Structure 1
């Protein structure tokens, strides 16, 4: 199912949290021309990026794209082959992991099984030799923040997976780091609990004001929690933007195809006024779309449109610029929505997503029905790379 991105960093969004758009804002983290090589393999390729205080920044990409290497360099477990990594204006490349104001939460949680929830959270504070009164005050604060007060005396095996996740988070935040790194933190949870915990993470990050950097391969997780998402591939950040920007305005076929479900059609462009006509199949009407970049007649382009932007009807909708006729080849019923795979006369396949607002017995379409697909001239995105 292609689901539209939730408003990530919900509270941030409502207060126009966007320091990356402020030329006077000073980044908390700066990667400057960072390259990391393992022998002949380049894991990070000349990367430059700024991350700001109070951001919830997501590194998203397939296995091997470099996101974990990037996080390990922030933590101090790896050093760049060349380039600078600055935290609060200080070059931290030579600073050992235990001297950095950075904490890391692992997917396994790494809780001490013989210690209570209270003692797990207090562990790092005791190692720093804080006064007992301060330790008790800080642990109590973390228990309140993560809603674990009633579980303080229990051992990790006596609480649920979601509660263990919150204990690990409380322990990571107890020392008030400037930066918290989260490595696939929800990967061990089932889908329903993972969805619930995503919003808990956002709420805790908002309350503490700590900068979070999360590594994930889960698109929905990144789109839900993050203020900005970096889509990575082969050691490069292909696009860095808000979840809505990544989803609605991808800068390449790679990003469009990686995030959610999408239809991608290739064709030749013809500019007609403020619209581009894309000829994609012999005998088919061209796709009409808006464009915001230089396009020349005859240029080979790609057109990306999300399934939920397309209407499925018995007749073409008169108020839409684009209409394609086809036959329903397959239907994916997902409860709240259904995905229709429609085969075009040209042989191409288009997916459309419709909300199931009617009971199953009263739905309009079934297999092998002839239907019209309609969408507006601003529903899709024209891509040149």
Structure 2
């Protein structure tokens, strides 16, 4: 049986859980959020991604109720939440520092918010046990935060945040304090927990790998604006600008002028020998400035020029980044431009085909890159 694809944003019948409508936030003369309109849907794992100061944390703080918009409105389930204080919103926030109470046990940390509500004692106990089970912490309920690992503390903070069953959980750089291996493991745990609970998660991160791993959609931000919102695959494969292409993963940007040479096909004169061929559904006029973004893994490296190559350039190996499963070759062209090509290390390093200063050919297909206006 085919699994249905989760894409409520493509369904006009679906009503968003969160709506930012023309939201601007100023701090004095500084515009942190600039006339932003964006929908987020129920059960989404939505990632806000961007460099420091791009406005992603301000967006989250407005959702939590710690900041109010200067202009525009934020709706939760169709209701304007401007005047609703943080403790009255069906929203919870998990901070990077976890903010656990050191003198309380794991069990009591999770129960803390529930005890402040009018939930009966036996219902609190059942809910805490449910949260411990969900986050695989059942054995650690009687321990204090200092008696468990960083990854376990992170899960306690998550269990406490989810205990009151919020409609929306905000995660501010939640895995920033964990080492790389633990962070990767925890990303998958977060995804499982989000799927199990059906809670809408909005995560703020500057770690592109994290956003691409966990999110149903990624919003790439810059200077208070969302530049592109799409699924991780589309953000990576079909960026809408040089900024997004450059921000997500490794990329080569070839700058030149376009000349139509067939249906959705263009010759790009880029000042490095013969023009290169690229396809684009977006039309370009003769002589229009264009940027061709090509990922290193889409570029083949070889000792000889492939006979059937649509695009091929020769250069010499300037640098090699060995990444275990992959090697990235930095190849310098006669003009001085450097292009990165990546290949899988299926053989041992001692048998590597190319080394520093070797002459090599780089080749790629007409559809390997994305042609961008800016």
Give the TM-score of the pair, scaled to structure 1.
Answer: 0.95
For residue 331 of structure 2, what is the aligned residue in structure 1?
A: 342
**Corresponding position: 1:187 with 2:143:** no
Q: Within 1, Cα distance between the matches of 2:128 and 2:162?
A: 10
Higher relative contact order (CA 8 A, sep 6+): 1
1:279 correspondence with 2:272: no
Shift of 1:321: 1.4
**Separation (CA, whole Å) in 1 of partners of 2:80 and 2:354:** 61
Q: In 2, are the aligned partners of 1:320 and 1:377 still within 8 Å (CA)? A: no
Residue 147 of structure 1: aligned partner:
136
Task: Encode CA deviations 1:200-242: one digit per residue, 9 max, x unaligned.
Answer: 0000000000000000000000000000000000100000000
- Deviations along 1:90-143, whole A, 9 cap, x unmatched? 000111101000000000000000000000000000011311110011001101
Q: Distance in 1 between matches of 2:352 and 2:227?
A: 41
1:314: how far off? 1.1
Aligned residue in 2 for 1:251 = 240
2:373 equivalent to 1:384 = yes
Count residues in correspondence: 372
1:285-315 CA distance string (max 9 Å, x none): 1111111112000011111000011111112
1:7 is matched with which residue? none
Instruction: Determine the structure 1 residue equivalent to 2:121.
Output: 132
Structure 1 runs of 4+ aligned residues shifted over 4 Å read: none
Unaligned 5+ segments in structure 1 are 1-12
Deviations 1:132-171 (A, max 9, x none): 1100110011011000000010000000000000000000
2:28 matched residue in structure 1: 39
Q: Which stretch of the first structure deviates more once superposed, 179-188 or 357-366?
A: 357-366
Q: 2:165 aligns to what SS in structure 1?
A: coil
In the alignment, the residues of structure 1 paired with residue 279 and residue 335 of structure 2 have an alpha-carbon distance, to the nearest angstrom, of 24
2:185 pairs, out of 173, 183, 196, with 196
Structure 1 partner of 2:155: 166
How far residue 14 of structure 1 moved from its aligned partner, in angstroms, is: 5.2
Q: Gaps spanning 5+ residues in structure 2: where? A: none
For 2:192 and 2:305, locate their aligned partners in 1 and report how far apart those are by CA, in whole Å.
Answer: 45
SS at match of 1:110: coil
1:9 maps to which residue? none
